Amino acid sequence: MTLEEKMRMRSPWIMHFDTGSCNGCDLEVWALLTPRYDVERFGAVNRANPKQADVLLVTGPVTKRCEDRLRNLYEQTPEPKLVIACGDCASTGAPFHNCYNVNGGVDKVIPVDVYVPGCACRPEALIDALVLGLSMWREKVQKMVGEEGR
Amino acid sequence: MEVITYILQLLIIILAPLAVGLGAGIDRKITARMQNRLGPPVVQPFYDIGKLLAKRPMLLSRLQVVFAGAALLFHAAALALFVAGGDLIVAFFVSGTGSICLVMGAFSARSPYSYIGGQRELLAILAYEPVLFLVVLAIGLETSFLVSGIGGGLLIALPLVLLALIPVLVILLEKSPFDVPTAHQEIMSGPYVEYSGPYLAIMEVARWFQLAFVFGLVTLFFWSADPVVSAGGKLALAFAVLFVTIIIDNITARLTRGRMVRFMLTVGVGLVAINLLVLFVIGQGAI
Ligand code: SF4
């Protein structure tokens, strides 16, 4: 791993967005930053600003009202970025599947890189997803560098 | 001999902001340990800068980047003036211009969050700049306005002035109780909100230069004839001040912007004034 790659891997800045979740998954996402799970040891900080974020943690089924905002936030996040769908709702819509006011899953609106199962998703699973996501991120970066090199 | 001095000065100008970056890493580590967390590695700020530089640039307006670059240039120039032994007052004003560039950068984006951040940054400048200026004046009155002419005895003569520098650093390091411009809970990144990727990295490095200048003022307070003891003592003093600000950060909650300005303009200015008054009285008595 080159130094540049290492730097990119060691500093994933998070943005958390709630698209209509029941708050269960959000609490688990927040638990990541507490002393118990402490993802800051991997260099992750919550920036709450799409322009400065690398990883979008999206919770909840995407309601029709939230759709545009989610797309907006996704587009404002500079490449290379990573989208993690946290929880059953964000992955498939789960109990809200086929409701008239939800899209059912984040991937109906924006591309998702990692799905985290669970209702609510466990913080351990979220950390696993972050680690998995970062290895995918590395591939993305290499692809991006390749494209720019051409 | 001349050449060696020049090389040494150049090295300090390059190394000082890096030391501030390392200090920021130590700060994050100590804060994490105080909260019973493990915390990121000490070199984390450098990882962040490296990553930010490697991100795809996205910008709102060219003007913003111009101001970011100007802020970096002014702060770097202030540090260079300081290290080269120049005039403290000139260095102070050059550094102040850099801070204004940061505000102008925030105002140049058509974003309400950026605007609020800019307004609050202006208030922060209003709060710390007078105190910083009085600190510079006090140092100048006690010894000399030229950095190269400043000798020892500052710590004994001006202890309250050093104390007044601590709240200034609390504001500059964006720590509670005075982290008004970047208030985490409401406006997140404040004046930096519209900067991303490489441009955010420029702003961050500009801030490191600014902090290097202010920590430079702190190091002036320790002086010894032996260069090794002098350097060690200066570093120790700077670290002690940093440690105090970390503790203040962790035991306080954020205060309102009005209270920040009021505190600085009464207690901050008052500390410097009392110190100078006592010195004056002692001086009169001695004669
Ligand atoms: S997955 Fe479960 S806990 Fe998470 S938002 Fe949906 S219903 Fe709530």
- Which residues make Cβ contacts (< 8 Å) with residue A65, sequence separation at least 6? A20, A101
With H, G, I as helix, E, B as strand and everything else as coil, classify residue B183: coil
- Which residues make Cβ contacts (< 8 Å) with residue A148, sequence separation at least 6? none
* Inter-chain touch B50–A11, beta carbons under 8 Å: yes
What is the model's pLDDT at position A110? Answer: 92
For range B83-107, the mean pLDDT? 91
For B42-68, what is each residue's pLDDT tens digit? 999 999 998 888 888 888 888 889 999
**Chain B residue closest in CA terms to A78:** B56
d(CA B72, CA B239): 24
User: Kindly report the CA angle at B177 between B258 and B160, in degrees rounded to 5?
Assistant: 90
Q: How far is CA A111 from CA A75, A83, A99, in A?
A: 11, 7, 21
Residue with tokens 């300090």: B12
A44 sits in the region (left: phi over 0; alpha: psi -120 to 50; else beta) called beta
* Inter-chain touch A38–B32, beta carbons under 8 Å: yes
d(CA B155, CA B150): 12
What is the model's pLDDT at position B285? Answer: 63
Q: How far is A60 from chain B (nearest CA, A)?
A: 22
What is the model's pLDDT at position B76? Answer: 93
Residues B71 and B105 sit within 8 Å (Cβ to Cβ): yes
* Inter-chain touch B44–A3, beta carbons under 8 Å: no
Taking CB atoms and a 6 Å cutoff, what residues make up the pocket around ligand 1? A 21-22, 24-25, 59-60, 87-89, 94, 119-120
d(CA A20, CA A62): 6
With H, G, I as helix, E, B as strand and everything else as coil, classify residue B155: helix
Q: What residues of B are in contact with residue A8 (Cβ under 8 Å)?
A: 50-51, 54
Model confidence, pTM: 0.91
d(CA A86, CA A114): 9
What is the model's pLDDT at position B244? Answer: 94
ipTM for the assembly:
0.88
CA-A120 nearest atom, ligand 1: 3
Within A77-122, where are the H helices? 87-92
Q: How far is B29 from chain A (nearest CA, A)?
A: 9
* Inter-chain touch B51–A79, beta carbons under 8 Å: no
Which element (helix H / strand E) includes B99?
Answer: helix B88-107
Query: Out of A113-122, A132-141, B169-178, which region has the weakest mean confidence (pLDDT)?
Result: A132-141
* Inter-chain touch B48–A6, beta carbons under 8 Å: no
- Which residues make Cβ contacts (< 8 Å) with residue B4, sequence separation at least 6? none
Residues B172 and B210 sit within 8 Å (Cβ to Cβ): yes
Residue A149 has pLDDT above 60, yes or no: no
pLDDT band at B6 (very low <50, low <70, confident <90, very high): confident
d(CA A125, CA A140): 22
What is the model's pLDDT at position B286? Answer: 53
Which DSSP category does B110 fall into? -
d(CA A100, CA A98): 6
What is the model's pLDDT at position A150? Answer: 46
Residue B93 has pLDDT above 50, yes or no: yes
For range A46-64, the mean pLDDT? 89
- Please state the length of chain B: 287
The residue whose C-alpha atom lies closest to atom 6 belonging to ligand 1 is A89
How far is Cα of residue B26 from the mean position of the Cα atoms in its chain? Answer: 16
Burial of A117 (0-12, 13-18, 19+ CB in 10 A): middle
Nearest by CB: A43 against B47, B57, B196: B47
The residue whose C-alpha atom lies closest to atom 2 belonging to ligand 1 is A119
d(CA B209, CA B216): 10
What phi and psi, each to the nearest 5 degrees, are found at residue A149? -65, -30
**Chain B residue closest in CA terms to A46:** B188
